[in-house]
Structure 1
């Protein structure tokens, strides 16, 4: 199954509820939380995410691009987010934090920046529900897809398959009708798309196109 999670970073913040309604066919809503420290951008905090949770008919897929996720991540699970992903580069103990998130009822994900290798985490994959491979440098939407991140994704897919695990492999950054095929062939099954969805004339139709393209090229 190919999951399409539109990123509300590309939505109209003033008309958030309207834009959420336009992506009702999505699997989850991707919410980028940035703190202007871990990445050079500032977006939402818990209060805004809580309001999105209140009005969204679709589960939230929260991506924390923040320092000190040990302090902040559990709160997003307590808000009701279906999935909470934090960056391994910012975490002092990813396994312990993932267990805390699961204890609070959320799926636990780890994210890897383009320059971060997955090898230290391959033996720990059963501790996580999702691994997010960033296909751009985190911090800003609208960047171009980095194909050089695909070998990392393939290593993760091989490890997940070899161990028979149910770990979602997500990609985020520059996902379009063209690049989603490359990512799917490399093993991704969950795709974050911002500009491609929200800047199309019909976001719901674009979600269907992306889902179909991913399914055609599935690893």
Structure 2
């Protein structure tokens, strides 16, 4: 029996002149979450959007907001993200000196907690917190810009993480972000991914809702 795959389209690739319309499209679609990439121009070489956009989208979008903090000191914004409507907050292991404490604070704010790893960061960076998080996000491109090419070694990284998680009593979801499309999605699901983030492949499609359905069914 095939497991359910969750789809989290990335707002970073949406048309920012019509965020309301794109949020309504997400409501109608088979998407499970809406992925929101917050970039500060320090942790990654780009600036995207922040708390006002999260709050505005939350007033329209009926799907849980999957907030990915690509920032330094993400622990400083936990309460603000929760107040803006974040359902899940993912921080980068590379950006957190006290990762376990940050995870606890995210949970205390009423959100699910995720931890992300850049492509060159080894899985050992999250091994000690796997039993504490709800999700591990594997970046399959270098974070900062949408539309990048998929890093092929990410599939094996997902497979190895799946093996680590399957040995645990508590099993966080595996999310993959970067270069997810009709070709790479089946490989990632076969390797053990639970959640697929897709930006330009969804929002650049002629029929985004059909594209989301296809990703979810892997047809």
Please give the TM-score of this superposition, normalised by the length of structure 1: 0.94
**Quick one: distance in 2 between partners of 1:73 and 1:114?**
24
Task: Give the CA deviation at 1:70.
Answer: 1.6
SS of alignment partner, residue 85 of structure 1: strand
Structure 1, residues 57-78: CA drift from partner, whole Å, max 9, x if none?
1110000000111212332123
**Runs of 4+ with deviation above 3 angstroms:** none
**Quick one: distance in 2 between partners of 1:73 and 1:111?**
16
Counterpart in the other structure of 1:157? 162
Counterpart in the other structure of 1:80? 85
Task: Give the CA deviation at 1:51.
Answer: 0.9
Write the mapping of 1:88-103 to structure 2, written as runs, cut at 5 A: 88-103=93-108
Check conservation: 1:134, 1:172, Cα contact below 8 A: yes
Question: Are residues 1:197 and 2:207 paired?
Answer: no
Write the mapping of 1:38-187 to structure 2, written as runs, cut at 5 A: 38-187=43-192
Please give the TM-score of this superposition, normalised by the length of structure 2: 0.94
* Structure 1 unmatched ranges of 5 or more: none
Task: Give the CA deviation at 1:106.
Answer: 0.5
Check conservation: 2:52, 2:84, Cα contact below 8 A: no
Q: Report how many aligned residue pairs link the two structures.
A: 214
Counterpart pick for 1:2 among 2, 5, 16: 5
**Quick one: distance in 1 between partners of 2:87 and 2:210?**
24
Task: Give the CA deviation at 1:117.
Answer: 0.5
* Structure 2 unmatched ranges of 5 or more: none
Question: Are residues 1:31 and 2:36 paired?
Answer: yes
Two-structure CA RMSD over aligned residues (Å)? 1.2
Structure 1, residues 138-176: CA drift from partner, whole Å, max 9, x if none?
000000111112222112111211113231100000000
SS of alignment partner, residue 23 of structure 1: helix
SS of alignment partner, residue 196 of structure 2: strand
**Quick one: distance in 2 between partners of 1:73 and 1:88?**
15
